[in-house]
Structure 1
């Protein structure tokens, strides 16, 4: 990548970061291109040159945000933490995300999630699911997950939940329940065992 391309890419990332910060704090509807331009220290024309419209910018911010979340998730999975420590970190991260995201931006994310099925299915099947199975296999090896529990059952449970939260009447009310849902996914109804506390 030459200097021009690098500067162009850096400018695009700075626009995405500025827009993301504003969307997380204030939502999508209340933020104008002028406010994003001011935050990114670029002109409105520059934003339109990169993204054509606010709609396209919002979509690109959404994809950028997903990549950030994916990298954060992979850092946890690739760490030297034990299985329970990884689960606690995943739950903590989900809780932090839920606490720091504007309801309007969250609703936009979930609407994209439920309508752009091809992108999400590919990301889920090719990236997230294999890593989750690796995590649960680690949990089985470390005796934190029942070794008799099949990966097929785990996948079925995750996929069923995944399909359910794509429904509009569900994703509109799920944000405040994020921590409880993550606890259910990883600890079940019985809750954490004493040695994990």
Structure 2
């Protein structure tokens, strides 16, 4: 990548960061392209040159956001923390994200997630599922996940959970339940303390 392309890519990243910051605080609807331009220290024309329109910018911000959160999750999954601590950190991060994200932006993310042939579908198949499968297998190997539960059953469970949350009527009312839903996902209704 030459100097021009590198500067162009850096400018694009600054726009994405600025837009994400504003969308997280105020939602998509209330943030104008002018405000994003001001936050990113670029002109509105520059934003339109990179993204054509606000809708395409929002779509790329969502992709940027997902990649950023996934990088954080992968760092946690690859860490030397014990398996139970990793689960606690996942729950904590989900609760933090739920507290930090504006409901309007959350709905845009979930609409994109529920759409067909989107970035999430590719991400899920190529990145998330293989990594989560390996994570759950390590939990089995270490004795934290019941080894009699097949990986296939775990993957079906994840898919059911994912499919249900992609329903608009569901995701519109679940943001404030993120921490509880994540606990249920990992510990079931009995909870982690029951043995």
Question: What range describes the TM-score normalised by the shorter chain of this pair?
Answer: over 0.9
**TM-score, reference length from structure 2:** 0.97
Aligned equivalent of 1:186? 186
Aligned equivalent of 2:154? 154
Aligned equivalent of 1:24? 24
**TM-score, reference length from structure 1:** 0.96
Aligned equivalent of 2:46? 46
How is 1:1-197 mapped onto 2 (pairs within 5 angstroms)?
Answer: 1-193=1-193
CA–CA distance in structure 2, aligned partners of residues 47 and 12 of structure 1: 8
CA–CA distance in structure 2, aligned partners of residues 142 and 187 of structure 1: 16
CA–CA distance in structure 2, aligned partners of residues 15 and 119 of structure 1: 20
CA–CA distance in structure 1, aligned partners of residues 22 and 112 of structure 2: 19
CA–CA distance in structure 1, aligned partners of residues 41 and 16 of structure 2: 12
Contact 2:83–2:144 (Cα < 8 Å) also in 1: yes
CA–CA distance in structure 2, aligned partners of residues 104 and 121 of structure 1: 22
Contact 2:27–2:103 (Cα < 8 Å) also in 1: yes
CA–CA distance in structure 2, aligned partners of residues 118 and 96 of structure 1: 25
For residue 146 of structure 2, give the secondary structure of its aligned residue in structure 1: coil
The alignment of Structure 1 onto Structure 2 pairs a total of residues equal to 195
Moved >3 Å (runs of 4+) = none
Any stretches of 5+ residues in structure 2 without a counterpart? none
Which stretch of structure 1 is more off in the superposition, 122-131 or 111-120?
111-120
Contact 2:112–2:118 (Cα < 8 Å) also in 1: no
Which stretch of structure 1 is more off in the superposition, 62-71 or 109-118?
109-118
